[in-house]
Structure 1
Amino acid sequence: MLFLQFALLVVLLPGGDSKDDFQEPTSFRVIYSSSFYNPSRVQALGSAWLGELQTHGWENHTGSFIFLRPWSKGNFSSEELTEIEKLFRTFNIEFNQIFHNHASQWQLAYPFQVQLAMGCELHIGEASVGFARIAYQGSDLISIQNNSWLPSPKGGSRAQQVSGRFNLNKVFLETWHRLLTDTCPRFLLGLLDAGKADLQRQARPEAWLSTGPSPAPGHLMLVCHVSSFYPKPIWVMWMRGKKEQQGTQQSDILPNADGTWYLRKSLDVEAIEADGLSCRVRHSSLEDQDIILYWEHRSSTGWIFLAVIVPLVLLTVLAFWLRKRWTRCEPPSNLISLE
């Protein structure tokens, strides 16, 4: 039955009719982190994400989900969500207890941190892909494959011991398998359906050009700013005609306060080579109408004006000042000599 629902992805995926440049797998993942301060104190934090949008939080004291969006429950019933909460509360207790009990054996020095990432990805026309990975101090330790935990090649003997311990509980392995292969894909499809209006929102980008600090004498740092766009996938490039310019540097894509995004693309060029360059922006909200901003009016006309007009003005002012001073210093022609 689950595979019949994948036909809905064409309709439900955000930006499903956009260009190939913007298509990416749709994923739902849970991030869980336990900080072990000493043998009697541990603090757990949890969150859940639809792609790069946080949809859930985790109340550590009560073991309850925090629904951050009006549609964060998807199409699951209250009974199903309560059952999943119970599973996570049980997991939270057992997970932390295992690492406390084996801290000495696995050479885990307090304080230390253990992270878990689990979830699933949906691909159009393909089966869903479930994943679960556990890391120690940010380094991969074990991951689940084919209904069993496998040690990371870089995890050494510690990874071998941890995977062996986690594989002892066959009932829990079956629960993991069901969560990753059935529960997670169904919940993800429900989120996409319930949040469709929000997820398919489109905001057109705004773009402008500027210069950054000069990287070297005779060079310009051209900067293309793009802001206020949603969803996040976007393509921005400095071009000369139809040729992409090598050496273009992109900043991180940063969030705006209204939920839209901002980025900038920079290009270091010789000043005499700047004429003819343009910044091109493609985004799903623009359909086939790319934004193209040309630099030549700013570079050739602007710099010629500054290079020619400004020196002429300075020379005129200087000549006027020298003439006025010379006139003041010259003696009057009708002055009678006393000699």
Structure 2
Amino acid sequence: MLVPLLLFLAGARLLAAAFPPLPRSYTLRLLQTSTFQDGGVDTEGLGLLDDIELGVLEHRTWAIRFLQPWVRPALPRGDWDAIEDMVRIYLNKFHHLVWAGAVEKGVPFPFVAQCTAGCELFPNGSSKAFAYVAYDGRDFLSYDMGSGTWLLRQDTDLARYVRETLRNYTAFTELVEVLFNSTCVDDVDIILHYAKEALERQVKPVAVVFAKVPNPARLLLVCRVTGFYPRPVSVAWLRDGQEVPPGPELSATPPLPNADLTYQLRSILAVAPRDGHRYACRVQHSSLGGRSLLVPWGNSGVILPAGLAAATVVLVAATATAVVVWMRRRRKYQEMDDSERSSSVRSH
């Protein structure tokens, strides 16, 4: 196992070195959830490149099922086989260690162990690997790749026991280092160039402003922004054209994922009803090409990119004129039709 693995790592490093520098930081994150019960262990796994789902572990075989069409072609089949072998060895050892520790310390079943591990690549060519372990949703242990030591995230008898066990079980620690400090870094550098189109995808936001009235003395203006990608976005409120500074009257949700790999959020501004000011929600996002999306309160169905407001007014005016003309013509035709019907009745 060791010789093929070393050859695999050497080849990956040579291939990764052939690519140009990265424009920004990228993170590959592997998420593992293992539920320990009296009858065995149930493990789920998910791989993410930033916020893009790369693949999942098949429930029974621990084989990788790819979720993006460009992931498999990024590496030869033999490389994926080597990665799957390492993942299986890692999971087997992890399950054995945790199960033995739970029995030794009398930990009641069931319980859940969660792991987050991966690596981050920076534009200057450096990288940082990380590994964290949680127990029933709380931080438990972390691994310091620089010093090669396991660190306590909670000071309990169980955490100290597991840390000491891992210190003595050097084979598992070496596997963690190889998997996340070497293989992860080299493979991400290659996969990034296949993922370029997905990572550079730009989807424009859609915004609407509406109001909630929790009580007669308080009006909540809500700016709902949705359907945008990538995740970074700036949402601000303007009062009479000036940005409202941070304060207790302002609140917002973090960007939350939609089912189609876009994001949404809400920004809320508390105001007094009929305070005499004009309000608008301003959205800034990379997909808008340097422009801003302005949604005024009182006309929340219209989304106005900055610089296009005049054109929008002209379009609305033209539409209104066309509607008036159409209504006049319809009335005229209706009057003519009524006149013809009246003449027809008299002729009979």
Q: TM-score range by the shorter chain?
A: 0.7 to 0.9
CA distance in structure 2 between the partners assigned to 1:5 and 1:270 by the alignment: 60
> Which residue in the other structure is 2:86 paired with?
87
Give ranges in structure 1 of 5+ residues lacking alignment. 14-24, 299-339
1:169 aligns to 2:169 (yes or no): yes
- Shift, 1:254, TM fit: 3.7
Judge conservation of contact 1:142–1:152 (CA < 8 Å) in 2: yes
1:27 aligns to 2:27 (yes or no): yes
> Which residue in the other structure is 2:314 paired with?
none
> Which residue in the other structure is 2:7 paired with?
none
Judge conservation of contact 1:35–1:111 (CA < 8 Å) in 2: yes
Select 1:286's aligned residue among 269, 285, 288. 288
CA distance in structure 2 between the partners assigned to 1:151 and 1:72 by the alignment: 33
> Which residue in the other structure is 2:234 paired with?
235
> Which residue in the other structure is 1:321 paired with?
none
> Which residue in the other structure is 2:102 paired with?
103
Give ranges in structure 2 of 5+ residues lacking alignment. 1-12, 301-348
> Which residue in the other structure is 1:306 paired with?
none
- Shift, 1:30, TM fit: 0.7
Q: For 1:229-268, what aligned pairs fall within 5 Å after superposition?
A: 229-240=228-239, 241-246=242-247, 247-268=249-270
> Which residue in the other structure is 1:302 paired with?
none
**Paired residue secondary structure (1:259):** coil
CA distance in structure 1 between the partners assigned to 2:142 and 2:262 by the alignment: 34
CA distance in structure 2 between the partners assigned to 1:142 and 1:258 by the alignment: 34
> Which residue in the other structure is 2:36 paired with?
36
Change (3 A) 1:142 1:270: same
- Shift, 1:83, TM fit: 0.8
TM-score, length basis structure 2 = 0.74
CA distance in structure 1 between the partners assigned to 2:35 and 2:128 by the alignment: 29
- Report the number of matched residues: 283
> Which residue in the other structure is 1:150 paired with?
150
The amino acid across from 1:8 in the alignment is P
The amino acid across from 1:232 in the alignment is R
Select 1:271's aligned residue among 262, 270, 273. 273
- Shift, 1:4, TM fit: 5.6
> Which residue in the other structure is 2:206 paired with?
206
Q: For 1:256-335, what aligned pairs fall within 5 Å after superposition?
A: 256-273=258-275, 275-295=277-297
CA distance in structure 1 between the partners assigned to 2:119 and 2:231 by the alignment: 20
Change (3 A) 1:258 1:47: closer
> Which residue in the other structure is 1:327 paired with?
none
Judge conservation of contact 1:117–1:134 (CA < 8 Å) in 2: yes
1:197 aligns to 2:210 (yes or no): no
Q: Deviations over 1:244-294 (max 9, x none)?
A: 352322235344444322222111111233623221101001121111223
- Shift, 1:81, TM fit: 1.1
CA distance in structure 2 between the partners assigned to 1:270 and 1:175 by the alignment: 61
Q: Deviations over 1:28-70 (max 9, x none)?
A: 11111111111x4211111111122221100131120110001
Change (3 A) 1:202 1:161: same
Query: Which gives a bigger RCO, structure 1 or 2 (Cα 8 Å, sep 6+)?
Result: 1
Select 1:9's aligned residue among 22, 30, 53. 22
CA distance in structure 2 between the partners assigned to 1:292 and 1:278 by the alignment: 6
Higher alpha-carbon Rg = 1
Change (3 A) 1:126 1:80: closer
Judge conservation of contact 2:131–2:143 (CA < 8 Å) in 1: yes
- Shift, 1:126, TM fit: 5.7
> Which residue in the other structure is 2:338 paired with?
none
**Paired residue secondary structure (1:125):** coil
TM-score, length basis structure 1 = 0.76
CA distance in structure 1 between the partners assigned to 2:91 and 2:102 by the alignment: 17
- Shift, 1:222, TM fit: 0.6
- Shift, 1:162, TM fit: 0.5
CA distance in structure 1 between the partners assigned to 2:226 and 2:276 by the alignment: 23
